[in-house]
Structures are given as structure tokens and as C-alpha cells.
Amino acid sequence: MNHRNTRQKQIIMEALKGADHPTATELCEIVQAENPGISRATVFRDLSLFAEEGSVQKVTLSDGEARFDANIKPHAHAKCVCCGRIYDVFEDKVSFMLGEEDLGGFEIYSATIEFSVKCPACIAAEKALIS
């Protein structure tokens, strides 16, 4: 299906590219802060369309909320247990987990991998409190 690339869609995509794995609601708030004329329904509809077309990834992590990622290259995610920030972990770091091993005849099309981590910023903040 061919959809028009409207100015609103461009604004929504640019906001997503500048955001850190937002939920649809979070992205809506970002978009509307700069563009109050873009409705919540438009943001939600366009995000769903982008995900269906494969131009963004819809990612559901262990918190259960659907998040959106403009990076569509194969990668895993790491979520900091302290601050909640989500980081991309690219294939070269986890390829050993998705290697060429025999999986009983299955062909892998996708995998969802989430690491629970403490990020460098939280580790540094914790060390600063201790010192």
C-alpha cells in the first residue's frame, strides 16, 4: 500500500529519530510540544502505519508498553534498572546468541532480546554518592 509522505508524517518521524524509544504517548507529547496542530490520533495512526510498513520497529519490552524505534537494523535492547533508559545493543555484540547453530529446522525471522542493566551514568552517579 502506498501512502503519502505528508509534512505531519515527516515531523513525527523526525521526532521519533530524536527520541529514546518512546511510547506512542511520549512521542505524541514531543510532537505536540513543537507542533500543537498535530493531533494525538494522527501520531498514533502514523506510528502504526510506520510499524506496519517496517520503517520503524515496534518493540514491547518486559514493562509491557509498546515502544517505537526508528532504528530498523537488527539489534537487541538493554534497559537500565535504575533510570529506565533503553539502549540499543547491536548485532555484533550479541551475534553469538543468534549464530548459525541448528535450531531443529527452524528459520529465525526475528528475535527479541532485552538485557536488564545498570547504565554507565547510573553507575557513575552511584559511585559519586559513595565517595
Q: How far apart are CA 124 and CA 128, in angstroms?
A: 6
pLDDT of residue 62: 82
- What pTM, to 2 d.p., does this model score? 0.76
Tell me the per-residue pLDDT of 76-95, one tens digit each, with 9 for 90 and over: 888 899 998 898 887 666 66
Q: Are strands 114-117 and 57-60 parallel, antiparallel or unpaired?
A: unpaired
| Cell (9 digits) for 16 | 521519533
pLDDT of residue 23: 95
Tell me the per-residue pLDDT of 4-53, one tens digit each, with 9 for 90 and over: 789 999 999 999 999 989 999 999 999 999 999 999 999 999 999 999 99
DSSP secondary structure string for all residues of 98-130: G-S---TTPPP-----EEEE--HHHHHHHHHHH
Question: 114: pLDDT confidence band, cut at 50, 70 and 90?
Answer: confident
**pLDDT > 60? residue 100:** no
Q: How far apart are CA 123 and CA 28, in angstroms?
A: 31
Rounded to a whole number of angstroms, the distance between the first and last alpha carbons of the chain is 58
